[in-house]
Copies of this chain bind each other. A is one copy, B any other.
Amino acid sequence: MLEVAALLRGAERITAFCHENPDGDTLGAAIAIALAAERLGKQAEVVSGDPPPPFLAFLPGIERVRRTPSLEPDVAAVVDAGELSRIGPIVTERADWFAASRIVNIDHHVSNPGYGEAVWIDPEAAATCEMVTLLLPELGVSLDAELATALMAGIVQDTHTFAHPNVSPRTLRVAAELLEAGAPLAAINRSVYADKPFSTLALWGLMLAAVGQRAEGRIVHASMSNAMLATAGEQPTAAEGFVDLLASTRLADITILFKEVGPSETRVSVRTSARTDAVAVAAAFGGGGHPRAAGCTVVAGLQAARELVLAEAERELARGDARDR
């Protein structure tokens, strides 16, 4: 952490970079780095190749987030990106810019290979925003309501508001400091998790009404068809969060969501409990991911894809049972 703090303190112009499909953790951390730099009299900006999602509109300075850097190369602070390439095609498109910059790598992904001139990786941190909160005193910047709001956003999103097993006593203590400094915790939680349009509720109703189970409830599955989207007047992104609801079913070892893309293309999301491997199911169809959450695309319509993947899920259940014995 000290090396990272030293490089940031010595910089005059800091460009903070978010990863693709930015979430509250990468945006919150990047905005906090830029705000902290400005508090120290430096020039700073935040760059995100993809636009921020609407539910993060409350982030301070979100309107200043740019698609490409405008500052002269000095320090590039890359936050919450497990690989440098995760910040998007800009890395190759502006290779000259990156070659002329010193890269600061702040991340909590255990898989981070340690790219950059100054590296701080802490897989014990629930969020990169937890790390940046701890970094502020090293930079000589005190928390204020804007910084605290940005940083709390990352913790709320990466821990599902303190519900996931990645929450440590330190996470809660950091959150206490942020709340004390003025972060509107309940409002952030509401904005990130409880601000569904009515049409999303209607879509979820259609999906839940057709929920299915296999293997005596150990496999729970649901589907999102284009017909459902049309009926509810919704976009495919409205499925966000649905799989969490599905995975909250008692006994479910494997939870699967099928999304119709076209007549012969189905996107599949797999979640598993500790007993089974989501990657094993997804890999059978050329997909991948993490042991608890993986995905694949099946070259088949919704119904055919369902049969293929559910059969594979039943096989993985049997393999898991065999491992347990």
Binding site for B on A (CB under 8 A): 161-165, 167-170, 172-173, 175-177, 179-180, 185-186, 189-190, 193-198, 201-202, 204-211, 213, 217, 220, 245-252
Contact B179 A176 (CB under 8 A): no
Candidates B169, B176, B198, B206; contact of A220 at CB < 8 Å: B198
Candidates B177, B201, B211, B250; contact of A202 at CB < 8 Å: B211
Q: Please, could you name 12 A-B residue pairs with CB atoms under 8 Å apart, sorted by A? A: A162-B189, A163-B186, A167-B179, A172-B175, A195-B248, A198-B252, A201-B208, A201-B220, A201-B245, A201-B249, A202-B209, A205-B209
Contact B167 A172 (CB under 8 A): no
* A5 CB to nearest B CB, Å: 24
- Interface of chain A, main secondary structure: helix
Candidates B165, B179, B207, B209; contact of A206 at CB < 8 Å: B209
Distance of A251 Cα from B193 Cα, bound (Å): 14
Contact A248 B179 (CB under 8 A): no
Contact A194 B162 (CB under 8 A): no
Distance of A196 Cα from B217 Cα, bound (Å): 12
Please judge, given known A-B contacts A161-B162, A169-B177, A189-B163, whether A217 and B195 are in contact too, CB under 8 Å. no
CB neighbours (8 Å) of A193 from chain B are 163, 248
